[in-house]
Amino acid sequence: MKVGVCVKRVPETGARITLTSDDQAIDTSLLGFTISPHEECAVEEALRIAERHGGSTTVLTLGPAAASEQLKNAMAMGIASAVLLETDGGDWSAEATAAALAEAMRAQPEPFDLLLFGNEAADSGDYQVGVRVAHTLGLPCVTGIKGIEIDDGRLTARREAGGGWEIFELPLPAVVTVKEGINLPRYASIQGRLRAKKTPIERIQPQPRASALETIRLVVPPEHETHVEVLGAGADAAQRVVAVFRELGLVGL
Amino acid sequence: MILCLVDNDPVSLEALTFARRFGEVEALVFGDIDVGGYVARARRVVHARLDEYAPTAWAQAVLELEPEIVVAPGTDRGHEVLAHVAARIGAPLAANVIDASVDSEALQLTRQRWGGSLLEEARLTGTPKLLTVAPHAIDAEPSGITTTVEDFTPTLGDEHFRVRVMRREEPAAGTARLDSARVVVGGGRGVGSKEGFAVLEELAKLLGGAVGGSRVVTNLGWRPHSDQVGQTGARIAPDLYIACGVSGAIQHIVGCKGAKRILVINKDQNAPIVARADWAVIGDLHEIVPAIVAELRKNGA
Ligand SMILES: Cc1cc2nc3c(=O)[nH]c(=O)nc-3n(C[C@H](O)[C@H](O)[C@H](O)COP(=O)(O)OP(=O)(O)OC[C@H]3O[C@@H](n4cnc5c(N)ncnc54)[C@H](O)[C@@H]3O)c2cc1C
Ligand SMILES: Cc1cc2nc3c(=O)[nH]c(=O)nc-3n(C[C@H](O)[C@H](O)[C@H](O)COP(=O)(O)OP(=O)(O)OC[C@H]3O[C@@H](n4cnc5c(N)ncnc54)[C@H](O)[C@@H]3O)c2cc1C
């Protein structure tokens, strides 16, 4: 079983987003970087599947040279090898991202049996890179998955729907996009970090391409500022809190 | 043709309402939802093998009609089906659009990024134009038009049914659902432990509500992920959200901004969530929440 997992480097925004002066990007000068929680879970799921069924794991990302940090983090969790599709840091459309990833996957000496993605990237949230890769590679695909089981070359996937579950079955090889909650990701171990440091990253120079969806600018939505009424400090405020519940009709008079 | 994908999720009716700004819209209906009064023409998909959801089959039905603009609800299914359409024809897809206008051959769009904490203004050219509409960006409103519904049977082959729902599991009876609860008592890192949630549970029970939490508490295993409120968890819209020991990171806020009122209990009066609140109590939640519970009990709740 050869499992691939795709992650995207995104800024770790705090309580407020600040944009660069040209409104084209998030000002990341004071920010660290991370990947989406969905993708952290995809990494964990890849590890669990390889542990259960045997096989190898590879993490792929398209991004600037600094995105090797996110690859190393995935390797520290246990992913065996990493591929960086190195860009000059410019913006890549979902079509271009998917085309480049699919090409890199095809170029691997051995084909992947399973490709995992996040359901949507944390920043742009286009909900489509995984599906596009599946089409390019001619593989079946299902999105938004919160449970995977593999048995005898078939994959069973669970998706939440209306409080219940929809269950899909797919033949392998396949593409699955996952959501946070599918598992609880492990922490990287110290040995893992040491190993990740020593493992070389495979680098590829992908070809950019134009898209018919063009970003004009980013806008921080106006904040819905409320007038806060401080009901008090400490336990003495309890009476006033209950008065609020009464006002809202949550408890009887 | 301007086509809008509609399924049994009521968010579809918002997408239909949104799509009307582009001109005369036809609805492509999967399921038995009533679109009467929304559009002049609706095609209800009838196909022997489409008794269950199959994403590529739905995408093929869209493609067969050769639309110029396709609008879908920003739901799991809407995103998935349009991503398949987009991938098949190599067109871009703009997800979670909240506003759009026609500008000669192009569409000017505003769409959500970061789950809605950042907006992107974009220009979409080429044909067809594919977009999903962010849930609750606008209200569903019929225009009062008379709707003719006809059956439509797309031409589908085995290749369109490689992936489909094989079976379903219905929700367990009596589980309080976070996304429809009237009151949500949310806990963050400040709750301190799994056990610390007992008193939040009690408060939620007294108010007929549900318990939620931040990503920190689901990540620490104090609560199951199904309790998580935020960008990668549930979007809640209660009458009152009581946030205890939650700092108010934007990824949490996008999940609770649908709450009508927010009451914050936090020991730090400068925590970002306080600025979003209607009421705040400053102090240790381990003293305040039990005092509120005691006060409610005293009042016979
Ligand atoms: C300021 C700015 C301007 C932009 N301008 C444009 C523009 O003009 N036109 C345009 O088309 N795009 C533009 N983009 C890029 C675009 O918004 C997305 O980054 C791109 O479309 C990829 O989509 P996504 O990451 O939202 O993917 P999604 O489809 O939401 O991602 C799903 C999953 O795919 C995988 N994935 C996504 N990206 C990568 C990656 N890089 N490497 C590895 N795996 C990945 C992950 O597993 C992820 O969870 C711009 C971005 C920025 C920040
Ligand atoms: C892409 C992405 C997606 C994310 N998705 C989500 C999501 O869906 N949901 C989510 O919640 N987060 C999400 N996050 C994480 C988010 O950024 C924050 O890390 C998280 O919300 C912080 O949780 P918290 O408020 O519980 O913890 P903290 O930020 O640590 O805040 C704890 C608060 O508790 C207060 N406190 C401490 N002790 C007490 C006490 N005894 N009494 C009263 N107050 C006390 C403190 O003053 C502080 O304000 C996401 C992050 C990323 C990057």
> Mind listing the pLDDT tens digit for each residue in B154-193?
999 999 999 999 999 988 776 668 888 999 999 999 999 9
Q: Is residue A99 a part of any domain in this protein?
A: yes
CA quadruple A210, A214, A217, A221: dihedral sign: negative
The CATH class, in words, for B2-161 is: alpha beta
Nearest to A184 by CA among B221, B99, B165, B118: B221
CATH H-level superfamily of B178-298: TPP-binding domain (3.40.50.1220)
Name chain B contacts of A228, Cβ cutoff 8 Å: 264, 274-275, 277-280
Q: Residues near A193 by Cβ (< 8 Å), separated by ≥ 6?
A: A76
The domain in which residue A175 lies consists of 2-204
B contacts of A8 (beta carbons < 8 Å): none
CA gap A82, A86 in Å, rounded: 12
CA torsion B191-B197-B199-B202 (nearest 10°) is 140
- Ligand 2: centre distance to CA B245 (Å): 8
The answer as to whether A247 is a domain residue is no
**Same-fold call for B2-161 versus B178-298:** yes
Q: What's the rounded Cα separation, in Å, for the pair B135 and A48?
A: 34
- Substitution target in A131, A169, A180, A187 with the highest count of B β-carbons within 10 Å is A131
Q: Compute the nearest-CA separation of A189 from chain B (Å).
A: 17
Domain assignment present for residue A155? The answer is yes
pTM, to two decimals: 0.92
Q: How many domains does chain A have?
A: 1
Of the residues B93, B96, B120, which should be mutated to test ligand 1's pocket, given the most ligand atoms within 8 Å of the CB? B120
- DSSP structure class, residue B134: P
Contact A214 B125 (CB under 8 A): yes
Q: Give the residue extent of every domain in chain B.
A: 2-161, 178-298
- Planar angle of CA A108, A101, B77, nearest 5 degrees: 125
Domain-embedded: residue A138: yes
* Per-residue confidence in pLDDT tens, chain A, 253 aa: 999 999 999 999 877 888 999 999 899 988 999 999 999 999 999 999 999 999 999 999 999 999 999 999 999 999 999 999 999 887 789 999 999 999 999 999 999 999 999 999 998 888 999 999 999 999 999 999 999 999 989 999 999 988 889 999 999 999 999 999 999 999 999 999 999 999 999 999 998 877 778 888 999 888 777 789 999 999 999 999 999 999 999 987 6
Q: Are B123 and A100 spatial neighbours (Cβ–Cβ below 8 Å)? A: no
CATH number at residue A6: 3.40.50.620
Tell which residue, A45, A54, A218, A50, has the closest CA to residue A118.
Answer: A45
